[in-house]
Amino acid sequence: MVVAHGPDFPKPRTPLATIDDLRRMIAAHPGMRGMKTARLALPEIRVGADSPQETRMRLVLARTKLGEPVLNHVISNSWGQPAMWPDAAYPQYRLALQYDGAHHSSPDQAARDRKRKETTDRLGWTELRIFKDDLDGDKPFVLEKVRATLQGQLRRQASGT
């Protein structure tokens, strides 16, 4: 996993290896076990996903008509200051996707998640929480969650509410 973030991210991280490092490693060891799979996976790598599950979420969504979501899209407050960095987003729909793994059940993390949701709402975005089982199966439920959320937004816009 290549994890790195831009300067606006609250906790910038430097990757252990860059995508170019991975390319060089694959080229230098073409016959090594796993290199064929690594070479095939290379075009699918995106900087910004913080976990394998966030990557799964991105890959599932990227194969839809919506296309690939933006990872760690910076959402600014009314003063233009960075306020949020959802795991994935469709900025054109003001839809923020947050993958919630097991650690989100701790009281401290749950409190941070509630504050994040309040900030999302205040900034005029919709937050959708995605869980592991939302990504499972041939037709992952995340697809229905996103579809239903966007349809709800369109209905509200059409009715003026």
Do 64 and 96 lie in one domain? The reply is: yes
DSSP per position, 77-118: -TTS-EEE--SEEEGGGTEEEEE--GGGGSHHHHHHHHHHHH
From first to last of its 161 residues, the chain has per-residue pLDDT tens of 555 566 666 666 677 888 899 999 999 999 999 999 999 988 888 888 888 899 999 999 999 988 999 999 999 999 999 999 999 999 999 999 999 886 767 788 889 999 999 999 999 999 999 999 999 999 999 999 999 999 988 888 788 76
CATH at residue 148: 3.40.960.10
Does residue 76 share a domain with residue 62?
A: yes
**What's the whole-model pTM score?**
0.82
Predicted local confidence at residue 9, as pLDDT: 62
Query: What CA–CA distance (Å, rounded) separates 57 from 53?
Result: 6
Looking at the fold, whether 83 and 33 belong to one and the same domain comes out as no
What pLDDT does residue 17 have? Answer: 83
Domain range holding 110? 49-159
Please name the helix (run of DSSP H) or strand (run of DSSP E) that holds residue 23, with its range, or none.
helix 19-28
Is the same domain home to 39 and 74? no
Q: How many independent structural domains does the chain possess?
A: 2
Task: Say if residue 56 is in the same domain as residue 100.
Answer: yes
Give just the sign of the alpha carbon dihedral 154, 85, 83, 7.
negative
> Do 68 and 88 share a structural domain?
yes
Question: Looking at residue 106, what is its pLDDT?
Answer: 79
Residue type, 158: A
Q: What is the pLDDT of residue 96?
A: 97
Please indicate, yes or no, whether residues 1 and 39 belong to a single structural domain of this protein. Answer: yes
Show the CA angle centred on residue 45, arms to residues 113 and 149, nearest 5°.
40
Residue showing tokens 């205040």: 122
Pairing between strand 88-90 and 70-71? Answer: antiparallel
3 state SS of 141: helix
Same-domain status, 40 and 95 = no
